[in-house]
Structure 1
């Protein structure tokens, strides 16, 4: 087993993190971000990084984020078998908003035989242990930033908090770069205040007549507001409208629960 360099001192790591944040803010391309991530990854004591949306990138080329330095053989196998949605690490990231070590995944989700096979294959392809920082952005597919050691290497001790900071800033940097590369991708429908009010009351189970009494407008006006909101989202059913509006943050579960 080759010897891993000793971790840098806390002050040195803080300086490196400050430089990392500054460089990420100035990155203009995926290649720039990859170079910056390579440096900070090594400084934290890891060998690999992978920043990605949890979707099949072959089915949505160019519009989804992925920056990594994983072994090419593993990436080819991962993509060829469409593992983005099945990956147990990706699924575990749905259960938390903070960084987690891969060794804790069995406590976060129930692992199937296929899950165990995927994890074993990753080790066979050179990916050892690691940690993942989830990225949950309203209106977007979920993603994450992971840091991993090569197979056979020991994990750097006690740096989940640092990984959380690095992964969070890195993912935001990637989102900024991809917005420039794909303009208009993140544009969301905008509802008027009245459309939003009507939608919230409809989500609370109120009929158009009940909403009209609450908002002191006509029943026909309520129906028109909701119809126009559906048109802005490109949907026909109110249920679909509610789901889309919840997903992109236009309304929240707290709005619905509040009486």
Structure 2
């Protein structure tokens, strides 16, 4: 299954994605491309890309994962501890889930999560991070319904298919003129404060960590809210992540 000769050559995939007129059509082409290597379960996620409309920044934008698994994933906020998602945000190259687990130290919660994914029919998993201009973080998760212990994942070709898919997806979904605003500029200290806010620290705790007074922290927080057009700490952190000011 995983070592069958390529039948849908990459050059044809490039031509076909250039002609596609919808995200669903593009996703169908991607399924065809990676399907020849045995991967019939896909999920496409954009964690952050300021070149795309904000409505297209999110988990499971397009997918062929089991519906009940996607529902479970979203309802239980699994993205906050999913080791594959975290690796996809920090790694530059495609990786296998098995390889990631061998070189990582999972928490019991993460280990159980990965076992549940396997039971849900997501086997031989591969993560394909996609990097673009600025602080873009996106990716495609690939898996198979059937387990193949001798799976050869063809990581380079899978990366090529996914990267070309993303380039075509962005072509179809440009931001409108009204959305193309210049991102706010945060000072290095404001980024530090926002990073600790994202970690759940209080103003007093941030002041102790950065060796500044609570009043100074409060001043930075107010400036951050103003620059990011945020009404509270949660929206400030979300905006900071969205525009690449901070990384988790």
- 1:87 Cα deviation from its structure 2 partner: 1.4
Q: Which has the higher contact order (CA 8 A, sep 6+)?
A: 2
Matched, 1:48 2:45: no
Q: Is the 8 A contact 1:133 1:164 kept in 2?
A: yes
Q: Is the 8 A contact 1:130 1:146 kept in 2?
A: yes
Cα offsets for 1:171-197 (capped at 9, x unmatched): 222222332xx5248624179xxxx9x
1:127 corresponds, among 118, 122, 125, to 122
What is the 5 A alignment of 1:132-171? 132-139=127-134, 142-154=137-149, 156-171=151-166
Q: Is the 8 A contact 1:128 1:150 kept in 2?
A: yes
**Separation of aligned partners in 1, 2:90 and 2:183:** 29
**Separation of aligned partners in 1, 2:166 and 2:113:** 24
Computed over aligned residues only, the root mean square deviation of the Cα atoms, in angstroms, reads 3.6
Q: 1:5 to 1:100 in 2, by over 3 A?
A: closer
Structure number with greater Rg is: 1
Partner of 1:101: 96
Partner of 1:85: 80
Aligned residue pairs total 194
Cα offsets for 1:76-105 (capped at 9, x unmatched): 111111222321101112332111111111
Partner of 1:28: 21
**Separation of aligned partners in 2, 1:234 and 1:184:** 20
Partner of 1:175: 170
Partner of 1:226: none
- 1:148 Cα deviation from its structure 2 partner: 1.0
Q: Matched residue of 1:148: which SS?
A: strand
Q: Matched residue of 1:123: which SS?
A: helix
1:247 corresponds, among 239, 244, 247, to 244
For normalisation by structure 2, the TM-score amounts to 0.65
- Give structure 2 stretches of 5+ with no counterpart: 192-222, 230-235
Q: Matched residue of 1:62: which SS?
A: helix
- Give structure 1 stretches of 5+ with no counterpart: 204-229, 249-259
Q: Is the 8 A contact 2:30 2:162 kept in 1?
A: no
